[in-house]
Amino acid sequence: MKHLVEKFSKHVVIVNELGLHARSAARIAEIACGAQSDVWVIKDGEKVDAKSIIDMLTLACGKGTEIEIKIDKPSDIDILNRIADLIEDGFGE
């Protein structure tokens, strides 16, 4: 019998003026690298690794873009919440 992996996610909107740029992507990646499992950023069905700055930049997320942050394991719920809070706070910009 296969083990079912529970998925946890949050939808957030990019609120800062510059959108998801290199510095903000680096802050997400820094948090995501602390996860025990995979962390994903999803925009319009395209899923990229939140631990990769370059991958996130390929999504071209400007101000007002809705994205989904997803984790694979419930043990990383704190990582999910920290990333969502960072985005909702406009990356402190």
* Catalytic option among 12, 20, 21, 40: 21
pLDDT in tens, 50-60: 999 999 999 99
What mean pLDDT is predicted for residues 39-53?
A: 97
> Is 10 buried (19+), middle (13-18) or exposed (0-12) by CB count in 10 A?
middle
What mean pLDDT is predicted for residues 36-41?
A: 96
pLDDT beyond 50 at 11: yes
Cβ-proximal residues to 8 (8 Å cutoff; 6+ apart), any chain: 70, 71, 74, 76, 77, 80
- For residue 1, the model assigns a pLDDT of 39
73: Cα within 13 Å, side-chain hemisphere: 9
What mean pLDDT is predicted for residues 44-69?
A: 97
Helices (H) then strands (E): counts for the chain: 3, 4
pLDDT beyond 60 at 3: no
**Domain range list for the chain:** 8-92
**Is 3 noted as a catalytic residue in this protein?**
no
Candidates 3.30.450.20, 3.30.1340.10, 3.40.50.2020, 3.30.1330.120; correct CATH number of 8-92? 3.30.1340.10
- For residue 2, the model assigns a pLDDT of 44
